[in-house]
Structure 1
Amino acid sequence: MQLPGTTLLVIDDDDQVRQSISIHLEQCGFEVLQASRAHEGLTLVAGQRPELVLCDLYMSDMSGFELLAQIADARPDTPVVVISDDGVMSDVVEALRLGASDYLIKPQADLELLEHAVRRSLDRARLRTENQRIRERLELANRELENHLRELRDDQTAGRQVQLNMLPASPWGSGQYLFEHRIIPSLYLSGDFVDYFRVSETQLAFYLADVSGHGASSAFVTVLLKFMTTRLLYEQRKLQEQGPIRFQPSDVLGHINRSLISCNLGKHVTMLGGVIDEAQQTLTYSIGGHLPLPVLCVDGKAEYLLGKGRPVGLFPEAEFENHQIPLPSRFSLTLCSDGVLDCVEGTTLKEKEDRLPGLIGQAGGDMQRFMHLLGLDQTKVMPDDISVLLLSRTSE
């Protein structure tokens, strides 16, 4: 069915042919303009802007090739059907080269063929126009997407810098203890976080956290973790102006659990936290739904510490248990996020967990060797965030 208001222009100095073509096309539902001269036709092309032009290839006032070229220059999107007395191949080739959409031979006895050629040329032209509109919309969408991606990259760069500034120095030594960490994000921002710091003259604290999900939303929670632990430490120091601080790792996990639930962020955290008492030579730790468990390595023998607990930020009634162990004079303690297990050989999670202590034992408390055994480096892209926290004491 022809769209209403479709205007055609017929340019031909043969009045009988022009009238015959025009009458038939009007009966087909087109609005038809007529021109008996090429110059008159060009004026109508410029003023009336017809959707298609039919022109004779041989006219008295201008060559059809020149007419075709001028129409192509003035209205390159307007299809032109050329009508000729003969079908000389060189003329057909030249007309198509100059932009003709079709080439017909007259006398035009089969007017249905003419109508078909017109409709086909119109359909192709409209398809080209629609494709052009689609390309323009896609180009606009791509430019907007590039702008959004640029803004996102800028935001991520700023967020990454915030995360890096929050992380502790690595390696960091305090007294007899050495702390070191590695974090390899699966995306630009990490949902894993580690921290260690001196609590009092005789206490060192540390934790490793793995926020659910990936990317910016999870990275935002790591900022909250840093804020919450710092705030809790500040409040405890105000209560006890000097001497050891009495809060336990379970208190920290409980505080974070309540805070995350009240924030209603839809995020939870698995955590491992501990406090070293240098006077008593003990480690008190608490587990918040985190696997793998910490691995203690003494004299080349590596074993998981015991303990369990619920994830942090999911259950309002969750309680977290403290575990205490004496610390040997020489040892290393390795905390890993579950992303590390992706780097361990094995077909099942249990096989991977069983092999992990052996790798830690081989590393012997050396972070670089442990990362090498896992096949990791800072540039490798992994499906999950990976973090490792290693603390050690090599002498009394």
Structure 2
Amino acid sequence: MHKSSATLLIIDDDEVVRTSLAAYLEDSGFTVLQAGSAAQGLALFEQTQADLVICDLRMPHMDGLELIRRLGQCVRPVPVPVIVVSGAGVMSDAVEALRLGAVDYLIKPLEDLAVLEMAVRRALERTQLQVENLRYREKLEQANQHLQDSLRLLQEDQTAGRQVQLNMLPSTPWQVADLHFAHQIIPSLYLSGDFVDYFQVDEQRVAFYLADVSGHGASSAFVTVLLKFMTSRLLYESRRNGQPGPFLPSQVLAHINRSLLNCKLGKHVTMLGGVIDLARNQLTYSVGGHLPLPVLLADGQARYLQGRGLPIGLFAEATYQDQCLDLPEQFSLSLFSDGILDLLPGATLKDKEAALPEWVARAGGILDGLRTAFGLARLGEMPDDIALLVLRRDPA
């Protein structure tokens, strides 16, 4: 028997039919209420707010069609599902019942009551999906309003804009399962064109990215707000059907590329995004023109991850690839914006990039160690923004 916390309301003037349906559904694990007339059923529904209604069409005083119409007028986030079980078998009645909102129409006598149970469970599952979609839509609308307010503040006041950027950043440090995340952003001006984010996609997956918007100041900060909006929107879309979507980094980068080109802001972004599957202990990542590449520190050895891709927001034909990596039991992954290279010794960019893994290794692959190694607390005026994002798993 499948247990269920759902409450069903059966409305039928035929007591024999009503009680037999109720007995079967109670044995199937549901809580079942009964009413012998449409008026009594409406009153009972208002008192109990049952999760689903099963009703006949041919009843005295008020027929089933009027009952369905009145149930549809009840104020609920999602209309109560109604299943019609009728002996009338008239096509016009079935069509009208479905038009008024009934989710299923079964004809008496029911030779196999398992058909009714299946219809009930299917209707309840559909309603639950509607409730979850409504909840996600409300969250998205709240996020959209927050982002619109953020854009306005960025335009009106740099001080307020700086606070907006700080509010959009994730908590630091942050932990999910045995993964630890931490970040720091140091703007060259009051507002930053660098941005980081990390969040749970679902119970099994965690996503993160580091982005570096071209230019500096308010115009670049404006794009970081758009990045937050775009990724929030994609996360909502991946959940809208009640089942986790793929949320592949390559698809996220491709979506942002199209969106930035459509916005025609004259800005592009270098970006690296990744998703960690906690169950498989696997990292999937995609590169959007970003340098330096992330540095993986494991077993005392530091090395760059591999990958390449075009910057985001420049080329309509750009495509992005996913790279997969099985993660060690203990590791640290450090992501940087290119501003960090200004702090490294070396006559050429190649020299600086060659030195970075060694610095990560000396710092132990932790954010505090990197702060100390690069002297971030003592920095004066910088020519470029600097962003650091470190995620690690320590020994058990």
Q: Indicate the TM-score class for this superposition, using the shorter chain for normalisation.
A: 0.5 to 0.7
Q: CA deviation at 1:299?
A: 1.6
Q: Is the Cα contact below 8 Å between 1:200 and 1:245 reproduced in 2?
A: no
Cα deviation per residue 1:199-254 (whole Å; 9 max; x = unaligned)?
A: 00000000000000000000000000000000010011103x14x43121000000
Letter in 2 for 1:215: G
**For residue 222 of structure 1, what is the aligned residue in structure 2?**
224
Q: Secondary structure in 2 aligned to 1:395?
A: coil
1:386 aligns with 2:386: yes
Q: CA deviation at 1:152?
A: 9.7
Instruction: Measure the CA separation in 1 of the matches of 2:265 and 2:377.
Output: 32
Q: CA deviation at 1:395?
A: 3.1
RMSD in angstroms over aligned alpha carbons? Answer: 1.6
Instruction: Measure the CA separation in 2 of the matches of 1:387 and 1:269.
Output: 14
**For residue 201 of structure 2, what is the aligned residue in structure 1?**
199
Q: Secondary structure in 1 aligned to 2:201?
A: strand
Task: Choose from 229, 234, 254 the match for 1:232.
Answer: 234
Count of residues paired in the alignment: 244
Instruction: Measure the CA separation in 1 of the matches of 2:288 and 2:337.
Output: 12
**For residue 249 of structure 1, what is the aligned residue in structure 2?**
249
- Percent of aligned positions with the same letter in both sequences? 63
Matches within 5 A, 1:1-396: 155-239=157-241, 241-242=242-243, 244-377=244-377, 380-395=380-395
Instruction: Measure the CA separation in 2 of the matches of 1:153 and 1:318.
Output: 31
**For residue 14 of structure 1, what is the aligned residue in structure 2?**
none
Cα deviation per residue 1:347-378 (whole Å; 9 max; x = unaligned)?
A: 10000000000000111122111121112127
Q: CA deviation at 1:154?
A: 6.9
Letter in 2 for 1:216: A
**For residue 69 of structure 1, what is the aligned residue in structure 2?**
none
Instruction: Measure the CA separation in 2 of the matches of 1:388 and 1:308.
Output: 20
Instruction: Measure the CA separation in 1 of the matches of 2:225 and 2:379.
Output: 24
Instruction: Measure the CA separation in 1 of the matches of 2:378 and 2:270.
Output: 23
Q: Secondary structure in 1 aligned to 2:383?
A: coil
Instruction: Measure the CA separation in 2 of the matches of 1:338 and 1:291.
Output: 6
Cα deviation per residue 1:241-285 (whole Å; 9 max; x = unaligned)?
A: 14x431210000000000000000000000000000001110000
Instruction: Measure the CA separation in 1 of the matches of 2:356 and 2:371.
Output: 12
Once superposed, which parts of structure 1, at least 4 consecutive aligned residues long, lie more than 6 Å away?
A: 151-154
Q: Is the Cα contact below 8 Å between 1:237 and 1:245 reproduced in 2?
A: yes
- Runs of at least 5 residues in structure 1 that lack an aligned partner in the other structure: 1-150
Q: Is the Cα contact below 8 Å between 1:300 and 1:362 reproduced in 2?
A: no
Letter in 1 for 2:284: T
Q: Secondary structure in 2 aligned to 1:190?
A: coil
Letter in 2 for 1:158: A
Instruction: Measure the CA separation in 1 of the matches of 2:365 and 2:311.
Output: 28
Instruction: Measure the CA separation in 2 of the matches of 1:378 and 1:266.
Output: 34
- Runs of at least 5 residues in structure 2 that lack an aligned partner in the other structure: 1-152
Letter in 2 for 1:228: M
Instruction: Measure the CA separation in 1 of the matches of 2:319 and 2:292.
Output: 20
Q: Secondary structure in 2 aligned to 1:246?
A: coil
Q: TM-score, normalised by structure 1?
A: 0.60
Instruction: Measure the CA separation in 1 of the matches of 2:292 and 2:231.
Output: 22
Instruction: Measure the CA separation in 2 of the matches of 1:209 and 1:358.
Output: 23
**For residue 141 of structure 1, what is the aligned residue in structure 2?**
none
Q: Secondary structure in 1 aligned to 2:390?
A: strand
Q: Is the Cα contact below 8 Å between 1:176 and 1:395 reproduced in 2?
A: no
After superposition, the Cα gap between the structure-2 partners of 1:378 and 1:187, relative to the gap in structure 1 and judged at 3 Å, is: farther
Q: Is the Cα contact below 8 Å between 1:288 and 1:308 reproduced in 2?
A: yes
Q: Secondary structure in 2 aligned to 1:377?
A: helix
Q: CA deviation at 1:382?
A: 1.1
Instruction: Measure the CA separation in 1 of the matches of 2:344 and 2:245.
Output: 39
Q: Secondary structure in 2 aligned to 1:383?
A: coil
Q: Is the Cα contact below 8 Å between 2:154 and 2:218 reproduced in 1?
A: no
Cα deviation per residue 1:306-356 (whole Å; 9 max; x = unaligned)?
A: 000000000011000100000111000000000000000111000000000
Q: Is the Cα contact below 8 Å between 1:287 and 1:321 reproduced in 2?
A: yes
After superposition, the Cα gap between the structure-2 partners of 1:210 and 1:251, relative to the gap in structure 1 and judged at 3 Å, is: same
Once the two structures are overlaid, the 10-residue window that deviates more, 153-162 or 266-275, is 153-162
Instruction: Measure the CA separation in 1 of the matches of 2:325 and 2:350.
Output: 25
